[in-house]
Amino acid sequence: MGKIRTFTDLGFNILRAKVIKKRQPVFLSLFITNKCNLRCKYCFVIDDTVPKDILNAEYSKKEVFEIVDEFYEMGTRMIFMLGGEPLVHKDIREIVNYIVNKGIYLHLITNGTLLEKKLDDIRNAHVVCVSLDGVGDKNDDLRGQGVFNRVVGGIKAAVNAGIPCRIHAVLTRKNLKDIRSLAGLARDLKISLTISPPNFLGETNLPFLRITREEYKEFWKEYLDMYKAGLPIANSPEAIVKCLEWPTDYHRYIKVGERFDNYKPIFCLNGYTYAALGAEGTMYNCINRGCLNGPNIKEIGIKKAWDILLDWRKDCVSCASINCIETAMMLNFHLATLFRGYKFHSGF
């Protein structure tokens, strides 16, 4: 199916979900495998407390096709494909092509180290998001020596092949003051940059992830300045401002009934128009509430898991993740953010 028709179908399903006020998983984060060729310092892959069967979890090609078919029937029109590292899956080419040919907009998220090698396998993806946390050693200190050069080579190969790309960075104390350099790299590569805080809520024992509220405030102010200066920041300024003005600790979420002076949260629609599905079978609302925090489709099936998914987020209004805030703004029809999201994803 052509890109314009796929994107139009996506827009129609978002609008339909909004107008008829019926829950449907228009967006799906699909973790096809938990296996990975890297050992990034903040990732669950290196967590010794995670059971081996979860670390090695992976869907077969047949299982992925069946999952995609059922979610499509339920209204899914955009899939974020993740891992682990999705490019280590032996059937990645057939999986990518199946999703795209189904008429689903595919956003492939990769660490980029295999991108050049697997270019022919993923060239039909609509957008490729490449994880990169800094320039040179700023990245390699977190992701492994030599990773930066391999990833940049992969991005260049993908861009030359006409595949839309963006860089995505995870904020840590190691790169908090160096994102401007990464934005400069994105500019030089003629692609865009997005960022997110680490995927957790609550404090952490890892010193390089313990970012204070004051440090977050300082970062979001600088990030907004980068946008205003014309650096290729794909996060919307409206969402950046909501993060800058976040009224409480950045490691907690706003609960139902909480009120703050001079801050109106954007109600998050995770669980209403979005679901995530882990490689071990857990369906969950949001990675920030926990990847194993939800029903398992292998036990009760996809439809029933979706039907009861909200039981795992009854008290949640909003968190400080710019990804969640930005998506919520678009799905709540914040016109400026919606327009920027349309331009970014459509390439028009």
pLDDT tens digit sequence for 306-344: 999 999 999 999 999 998 998 888 888 776 676 666 666
Contact of 137 with 34, CB cutoff 8 Å: no
Distance separating alpha carbons of residues 274 and 107, to the nearest angstrom: 14
pLDDT given at position 19: 64
Distance CA 267, CA 262 (A): 16
220 Cβ contact list (under 8 Å, min separation 6): 240, 243, 244
Task: Tell me the C-alpha distance between 245 and 111, whole Å.
Answer: 31
Per-residue model confidence (pLDDT) at position 305: 98
Give 337 or 70, the one with higher predicted confidence.
70
| Per-residue pLDDT at 76 | 95
Asked if the 3-346 domain carries CATH number 3.40.50.720, the reply is: no
pLDDT digits (tens, 9 = 90+) for 254-270: 999 999 999 999 999 99
Tokens at 79, concatenated: 């899939």
pLDDT of residue 197: 85
Per-domain boundaries in the chain: 3-346
Instruction: Kindly report the average pLDDT of the chain as a whole number.
Output: 90
Q: What is the pLDDT of residues 77-103, one digit of tens each?
A: 999 999 999 999 999 999 999 999 999
pLDDT, residue 20, reads 61
User: Does position 108 have pLDDT exceeding 80, yes or no?
Assistant: yes
Give pLDDT tens digits for 137-176: 999 999 999 999 999 999 999 999 999 999 999 998 889 9
Could you tell me the maximum CA-CA distance found in the chain, to the nearest angstrom?
52
Q: Give pLDDT tens digits for 182-233.
A: 999 999 999 999 998 886 666 677 777 888 899 999 999 999 999 999 999 9
pLDDT at residue 42, as a whole number: 82
Q: What percent of the chain has pLDDT over 70?
A: 90
Asked whether the predicted pLDDT for residue 348 surpasses 50, the reply is no
The pTM of the full predicted model, rounded to 2 decimals, is: 0.93
Per-residue pLDDT, 327: 87
171-183 burial, b for 16+ CB within 10 Å, e for fewer? bbebbeebbeebb
